[in-house]
C-alpha cells in the first residue's frame, strides 16, 4: 500500500504517481488535502487506469472536479481483478467516498422460517442471522409481503402461530383454531403425523409447487363431499380459495424463471431509481425501490455495477440476475458474485421472451417511482425554503434534527431523535437515547434533554471536530417552550456549538394543534397562520419525533417487564437459568429460596448457590 502526500495537485500529482505504478490489478483511492477519500476505484491494470486521470481533457464535470481536489492517492494490489472488484465494493461501503455511486438504503430483508426442532413446527417471520435449525424462505421485499404470505399460509395450511408453551400444555386450543386458521396442536386436536403432512404441503407451496398442493386439496374436498362430510369439504374449499387469492395478488408469477432478482434502473435529472423484484420458486415475493446517490454525468453501467456490488455485500445472491442495462464487464461481476456466494451466479440482459417482459415491468416501476420521488422532493425543497423564510434562517436547512423525550413518571426514560432533509425523513439516521443520568429527578424533562443533546454533540465533536461532514444539523427542533429552549441553548454553549439554529415548539393556547408557539433565543414568540404549509410541515416533524420516542419507550418498558431477575447475576447462563426456573417455577421463587434449596438444584454448585443467595439476600 502507498500513501504519498505531495505539494502537487490534480493532473500533475497523478502523472507523478504513474512513474511508480505497474500493470498489476488492484484498488486505488483518491484523497483530498484533509486525507478524506474522494473516490475508490478498481482496475485490471492500475497503471493504465490511473493514466486516464493524468490527461487534462476529456473528462466529465464530476471527474474533473474530483481530479482537481485530489491531493494524494493510495494503492493496493490484488492477485486478480475479481478480488479487486470485491475489495472496491467493501471500501466504498465502508468509506462512502464523495464521488462514488452510493447505495443509501441497505437494510436486511425478512424471511419466512419453519423450525425443524419441534414436533409441531411454528411458521413465523424472521430477519437477521440464520442461526436456528429450520428452513428459510425468502427474501421477501418487505414485512408487508411476509405478513400477507403468512396470513395465507395460516388459512391454507393451518400451521400454528401460538407459542411452544401453549403447545406443550395441549389443554386449550388457541383463538386461531376457532377462526379456522390453526389445526389445533395447542389443544391436542391434531396428531404429529397429520401436522407433518400440513408442514409438507406448506413447504411444497413455498418451493413453487402450488399447483400440486391445490390439486391435492381439491381431491380431498371431492372425497369429503362424496362422503357427505360437508363441513370438512367447506373448510377445504375455503383453503383452496385462499390459495388462489394469494396467487392472484402476487401478480407476476413467471413460468420460466424459478429463482432470480430482476434489477432495473431509471436515470433522470441527476437522480436514479433501482427497482428490485424478488422471484423465488416461480413466485413474485415482492419488490423494493432504491435511490442510490448519483450525479448528472454518471452512466447506467456505473450505477448498476456499484449498486449490485454494494447490495449483495451482505445478502444472499440468487442464481440469476436479470438487468435492464449491460455492465461494463458482466463476466467479471458474475465471477465476483459467484465467489462471494459459493455457487454459480449468471447475469444477463434479456433480449426476448418472458424475461424481457419481467425486466420491462420492473423498469416501468422504477420510472414511476422516481417520478413520484422527484415530485415529493420538489415539494420538500419548497417547504424547506418556506421554513427558512418563516424563521429567518440563513439558508434552507439540509439536515433537521427533531428531539423528544418519553417516560412514565421518570421510569424507562428515553430520548428520540429523527432526521429530515431535502429527500424527506431519513429513517436510517434516527437515534434513540436511553436516559442514564442517576442524578436526574424523575420526570425532569429539562435534565433529560440536556443529557440527550450533550451525548449527541459530544459524539459529533469527537467524530468530526471540523464539522465538515453532513452529519451536523443545520436546525434543531425541540418539543417544548421557553424552558426547554433555554436548557438546550445552555448545553449548546457548553459544547461550543451555539451557532446551530434551534426552535422550540410549544402547544400554545389551550394546547391545541394549530395554535403552536415557536420559541427562539433572543427573539419574540412566533405564531404561524393556521393554514400555512410550513406549520403543517413542522407539526408532522414533531409528531414523527413523538411517535418515535413513544415507540422506543414502549419497547424499553416491554423489555424491562419481560426481564428475569436472574439476568442480573454474573455466571448465570441459559442452562443454569433454565435449571433454576424448572426447579422453582419462577424467578421470584428463586429470589425467595433459601441456601439449602439452591444448592439442591442440578447444575448449580455450592459457590454459585451462595452467589445467588447473596444477590437476593444481601
CA–CA separation, 313 and 320 (whole Å): 16
CATH number of this structure's domain 2-95: 3.40.1440.10
Query: Residue 109 above 70 pLDDT?
Result: yes
Given a contact cutoff of 8 angstroms between Cβ atoms, the answer to whether 259 and 279 are in contact is: yes
CA–CA separation, 121 and 113 (whole Å): 10
Among the listed residues 444, 439, 454, 440, the one whose alpha carbon sits nearest the alpha carbon of residue 405: 444
Most confident of 73-87, 517-531, 584-598: 73-87
Once rounded to an integer, what is the mean pLDDT over residues 286-295?
A: 88
pLDDT digits (tens, 9 = 90+) for 420-433: 998 888 888 999 88
Lowest mean pLDDT among 42-51, 154-163, 404-413, 488-497: 404-413
Among the listed residues 287, 131, 118, 113, the one whose alpha carbon sits nearest the alpha carbon of residue 206: 113
pLDDT digits (tens, 9 = 90+) for 447-479: 788 888 888 999 999 888 888 888 899 999 998
Q: Tell me, yes or no, if the pTM score tops 0.85.
A: no
Q: Name the CATH topology of 400-560.
A: Nucleotidyltransferase; domain 5 (3.30.420)
Query: Residue 239 above 70 pLDDT?
Result: no
Given a contact cutoff of 8 angstroms between Cβ atoms, the answer to whether 27 and 1 are in contact is: no
Same fold, 259-371 and 400-560: yes
Axis-axis angle for helices 533-562, 354-390 (nearest 10): 110
First to last CA, the chain: 58
Across the chain, what does the average pLDDT equal? Answer: 84
| CATH superfamily of the 259-371 domain | UvrC, RNAse H endonuclease domain (3.30.420.340)
Among the listed residues 335, 355, 353, 357, the one whose alpha carbon sits nearest the alpha carbon of residue 344: 335
Query: Residue 58 above 90 pLDDT?
Result: no
Among the listed residues 412, 408, 551, 393, the one whose alpha carbon sits nearest the alpha carbon of residue 477: 393
Every domain of the chain and the residues it spans: 2-95, 111-249, 259-371, 400-560, 565-616
Other Cβ atoms within 10 Å of 579 Cβ, number? 15
- How would DSSP label each residue in 431-459? EEEE---TTPPTT-HHHHHHHHHHHHHHH
Give the CA distances from residue 351 to residues 300, 302, 354, in Å, rounded to whole numbers and listed in that order: 18, 21, 10
Of residues 218 and 391, the one with the higher pLDDT is: 391
What confidence score (pLDDT) does residue 81 get? 92
Under DSSP, the state recorded for 362 is H
pLDDT digits (tens, 9 = 90+) for 546-562: 898 888 777 777 666 55
Among the listed residues 119, 210, 126, 201, the one whose alpha carbon sits nearest the alpha carbon of residue 168: 119
Give the contacts of 164 (CB within 8 A, at least 6 positions apart).
118, 122
CA–CA separation, 554 and 541 (whole Å): 20
pLDDT digits (tens, 9 = 90+) for 167-178: 887 778 888 888
Axis-axis angle for helices 46-54, 10-18 (nearest 10): 150
CA–CA separation, 419 and 401 (whole Å): 5
Q: Cell numbers 443454569 correspond to what residue?
A: 576
Percent of the chain with pLDDT over 70: 89
Percentage helix, strand, coil for the chain under 3-state DSSP, each rounded to 5: 45, 20, 35
**Which three cell numbers, joined as nine digits, stand for 148?**
400477507
Q: What's the pLDDT band for 618 if we cut at 50, 70, 90? A: low
Query: Residue 322 above 90 pLDDT?
Result: yes
Please compute, for residue 197, the number of CA atoms within 13 A of its CA located in the half-sphere on the CB side.
8
Axis-axis angle for helices 300-311, 81-95 (nearest 10): 80
Given a contact cutoff of 8 angstroms between Cβ atoms, the answer to whether 309 and 333 are in contact is: yes
Query: Residue 357 above 70 pLDDT?
Result: yes
Q: What's the pLDDT band for 249 if we cut at 50, 70, 90? A: very low
Under DSSP, the state recorded for 400 is E
Q: Which helix (H) or strand (E) holds 156?
A: helix 143-157
CA–CA separation, 394 and 421 (whole Å): 16
3-state secondary structure of 514: coil
CA–CA separation, 262 and 322 (whole Å): 5
Given a contact cutoff of 8 angstroms between Cβ atoms, the answer to whether 412 and 557 are in contact is: yes
Q: Cell numbers 395460516 correspond to what residue?
A: 154
What confidence score (pLDDT) does residue 590 get? 81
Query: Residue 248 above 60 pLDDT?
Result: no
What confidence score (pLDDT) does residue 250 get? 47
Given a contact cutoff of 8 angstroms between Cβ atoms, the answer to whether 304 and 325 are in contact is: yes
Under DSSP, the state recorded for 174 is -
**Which three cell numbers, joined as nine digits, stand for 66?**
474530483
Query: Residue 144 above 50 pLDDT?
Result: yes
Other Cβ atoms within 10 Å of 179 Cβ, number? 10
Other Cβ atoms within 10 Å of 47 Cβ, number? 15
Percent of the chain with pLDDT over 90: 29
Once rounded to an integer, what is the mean pLDDT over residues 497-508?
A: 87
What confidence score (pLDDT) does residue 169 get? 78
3-state secondary structure of 42: strand
Once rounded to an integer, what is the mean pLDDT over residues 61-79?
A: 91
Among the listed residues 75, 67, 66, the one whose alpha carbon sits nearest the alpha carbon of residue 4: 75
CA–CA separation, 319 and 341 (whole Å): 9
Strand-by-strand arrangement of the 111-115 sheet: 123-126, 111-115, 134-137
Lowest mean pLDDT among 138-142, 252-256, 608-612: 252-256
CA–CA separation, 65 and 88 (whole Å): 21
Beta-bridge partner residues of 290: 274
Q: Cell numbers 486521470 correspond to what residue?
A: 53
| CATH superfamily of the 565-616 domain | 5' to 3' exonuclease, C-terminal subdomain (1.10.150.20)
Among the listed residues 511, 513, 407, the one whose alpha carbon sits nearest the alpha carbon of residue 452: 407
SS (H, E, C) 245-283: HHHHHCCCCCCCCCEEEEEEEEEECCEEEEEEEEEECCE
Of residues 383 and 470, the one with the higher pLDDT is: 383
CA–CA separation, 187 and 168 (whole Å): 9
Query: Residue 41 above 90 pLDDT?
Result: yes
Amino acid at each position: 500500500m502507498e500513501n504519498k502526500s505531495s505539494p502537487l495537485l490534480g493532473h500533475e500529482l497523478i502523472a507523478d504517481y504513474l512513474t511508480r505504478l505497474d500493470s498489476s490489478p488492484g484498488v486505488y483511492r483518491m484523497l483530498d488535502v484533509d486525507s478524506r477519500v474522494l473516490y475508490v476505484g478498481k482496475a485490471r491494470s492500475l497503471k493504465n487506469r490511473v493514466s486516464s486521470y493524468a490527461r487534462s481533457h476529456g473528462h466529465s464535470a464530476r471527474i474533473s472536479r474530483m481530479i482537481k481536489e485530489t491531493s494524494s492517492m493510495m494503492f493496493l494490489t490484488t492477485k486478480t481483478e475479481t478480488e479487486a472488484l470485491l475489495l472496491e465494493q467493501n471500501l466504498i461501503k465502508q468509506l462512502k467516498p464523495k464521488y462514488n455511486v452510493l447505495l443509501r438504503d441497505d437494510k436486511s430483508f425478512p424471511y419466512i422460517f419453519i423450525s425443524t426442532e419441534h414436533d409441531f413446527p411454528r411458521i413465523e417471520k424472521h430477519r437477521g442471522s440464520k442461526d436456528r435449525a429450520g428452513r428459510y424462505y425468502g427474501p421477501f421485499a418487505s414485512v408487508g409481503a411476509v405478513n400477507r404470505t403468512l396470513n395465507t399460509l395460516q388459512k391454507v395450511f393451518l400451521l400454528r402461530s401460538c407459542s411452544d408453551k401453549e403447545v406443550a400444555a395441549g389443554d386449550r386450543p388457541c383463538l386461531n383454531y376457532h377462526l379456522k386458521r390453526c389445526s389445533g396442536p395447542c389443544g391436542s386436536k391434531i396428531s404429529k403425523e397429520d401436522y407433518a403432512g400440513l408442514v409438507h404441503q406448506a413447504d411444497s407451496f413455498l418451493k413453487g409447487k402450488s399447483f400440486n398442493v391445490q390439486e391435492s386439496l381439491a381431491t380431498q374436498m371431492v372425497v369429503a363431499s362424496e362422503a357427505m362430510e360437508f363441513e370438512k369439504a367447506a373448510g377445504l374449499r375455503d383453503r383452496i380459495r385462499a390459495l388462489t387469492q394469494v396467487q392472484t395478488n402476487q401478480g407476476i408469477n413467471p413460468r420460466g424463471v424459478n429463482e432470480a432478482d430482476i434489477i432495473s434502473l431509471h436515470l433522470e435529472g441527476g437522480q436514479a431509481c433501482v427497482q428490485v423484484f424478488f422471484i423465488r420458486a416461480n413466485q413474485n415475493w415482492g419488490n423494493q425501490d432504491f435511490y442510490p446517490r448519483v450525479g448528472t454525468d454518471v452512466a447506467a453501467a456505473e450505477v448498476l455495477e456499484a449498486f449490485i456490488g454494494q447490495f449483495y455485500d451482505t445478502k444472499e445472491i440468487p442464481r440469476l440476475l436479470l438487468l435492464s442495462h449491460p455492465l461494463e464487464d458482466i463476466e467479471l461481476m458474475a465471477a465476483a458474485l459467484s465467489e462471494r456466494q459459493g455457487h454459480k451466479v449468471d447475469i444477463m440482459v434479456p433480449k426476448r421472451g418472458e424475461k424481457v417482459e419481467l425486466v420491462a415491468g420492473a423498469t416501468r416501476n422504477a420510472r414511476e417511482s422516481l417520478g413520484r420521488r422527484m415530485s415529493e422532493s420538489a415539494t420538500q425543497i419548497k417547504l424547506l425554503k418556506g421554513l427558512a423564510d418563516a424563521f429567518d434562517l440563513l439558508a434552507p436547512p439540509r439536515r433537521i434534527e427533531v428531539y423528544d423525550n418519553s417516560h412514565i413518571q421518570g421510569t424507562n426514560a428515553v430520548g428520540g431523535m429523527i432526521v429530515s432533509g431535502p429527500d424527506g425523513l431519513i429513517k436510517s439516521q434516527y437515534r434513540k437515547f436511553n436516559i442514564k443520568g442517576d442524578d436526574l429527578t424523575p420526570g425532569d424533562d429539562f435534565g433529560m434533554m440536556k443529557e440527550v443533546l450533550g451525548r449527541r454533540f459530544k459524539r459529533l465533536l469527537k467524530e468530526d471536530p471540523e464539522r465538515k461532514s453532513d452529519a451536523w444539523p443545520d436546525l434543531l427542533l425541540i418539543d417544548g417552550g421557553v424552558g426547554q429552549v433555554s436548557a438546550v441553548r445552555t448545553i449548546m454553549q457548553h459544547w461550543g456549538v451555539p451557532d446551530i439554529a434551534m426552535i422550540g415548539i410549544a402547544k400554545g393556547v389551550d394546547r391545541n394543534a394549530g395554535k403552536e408557539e415557536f420559541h427562539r433565543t433572543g427573539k419574540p414568540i412566533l405564531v404561524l397562520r393556521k393554514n400555512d404549509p410550513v406549520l403543517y410541515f413542522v407539526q408532522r416533524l414533531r409528531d414523527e419525533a413523538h411517535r418515535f420516542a413513544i415507540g422506543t419507550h414502549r419497547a424499553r418498558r416491554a423489555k424491562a417487564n419481560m426481564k428475569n431477575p436472574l439476568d442480573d447475576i454474573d455466571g448465570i447462563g441459559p442452562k443454569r437459568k433454565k435449571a433454576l426456573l424448572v426447579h422453582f417455577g419462577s424467578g421470584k421463587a428463586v429470589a425467595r429460596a433459601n441456601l439449602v434449596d439452591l444448592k439442591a438444584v442440578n447444575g448449580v454448585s455450592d459457590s454459585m448457590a451462595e452467589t445467588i443467595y447473596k444477590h437476593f439476600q444481601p
